[in-house]
Amino acid sequence: MGETIALVAIIGSACFFGGRTIYRSLTGKSERCGCGKECPLSDTCSDSKKKKD
């Protein structure tokens, strides 16, 4: 039972976050591309964030 709950929780979280990532990247809500700080889309750098043009 415990295993089943853990399994459902893990798969559920993966589906939620995976779906969210896909939705956000396709609708342009997420500007992260995961490709690197040199990527102008990346806003992951704490000390230098992109400014909208």
Partner 1 sequence: MKSKIVVALAGNPNSGKTTIFNNITGARQHVGNYPGVTVELKEGNCKHNDTEIEIIDLPGTYSLTAYSAEEAIARNFIIDSKPDAVVNVIDASNLERNLYLSLQLLELGVPLVLAFNMSDVAKSRGYEFDIAKLSSSLNAPIVPTVGHKNGGMKELLDAVVTTAKNNHPPQKLIINYGKEIETEISKIQSLIDINPNGTSKYDSRWLAVKLLEDDKEIAAKISSHEVTEQAKASGGGIEKELDEHPQAIIADKRYNFITDVCNEAVKSNEKKSRTLSDIIDSFATNRFFGLPIFLLLMYLVFQLTFTLGDPFMGWIEEFFVWLGETITTFWPKGSESALKSLLVDGIIGGVGGVIVFLPNILLLFLSIAILEDSGYMARAAFIMDRLMHKIGLHGKSFIPMLIGFGCSVPAIMATRTLENRRDRLATMLVIPLMSCGARLPIYALIIPAFFPQQWHAPMLWLIYVIGIVIAIFGAKLLRSTILKGDPVPFVMELPPYRIPTLKGIMIHMWERGWLYLRKAGTIILGISIILWAMTSFPKKSVFEKNYDGESAAAEETYFSEINELGKTIGISAENNSSILVDAARAELKKDSEQENFYEDEAGSEKAENDYQSTITRLTNSESGKTLALFLETKNKINETNNSFNETIEESGIEEGSPEFQKLEEEHTAALNEIEKNSPQIFSATVQYLDVIKTKYNETLVSVEQEKQSEQLAYSITGRIGHVIAPLLSPMGFDWKIGTALIGALAAKEVFVAQMGIVYSVGEADETSQDLRARLHDSYSPLTAFVIMLFCLISAPCMATIAVTKRESNSWKWALFQLGGLTALAYILTTIVYRAGLFFNIGI
Interface contacts to partner 1, rule CB under 8 A:
3-4, 6-7, 10-11, 14-15, 17-18, 21-22, 25-26, 28, 33-41, 45, 47-51, 53
Taking the complex as a whole, the smallest distance from the CB of residue 32 to partner 1 amounts, in Å, to 8
Q: How far apart are the first and last CA of the chain?
A: 53
Taking the complex as a whole, the smallest distance from the CB of residue 52 to partner 1 amounts, in Å, to 8
Sequence length of the chain is 53
Q: Rounded to an integer, what is the distance from CA 52 to the centroid of its chain?
A: 20
Q: Is 20 helix (H, G, I), strand (E, B) or coil?
A: helix
Taking the complex as a whole, the smallest distance from the CB of residue 31 to partner 1 amounts, in Å, to 9
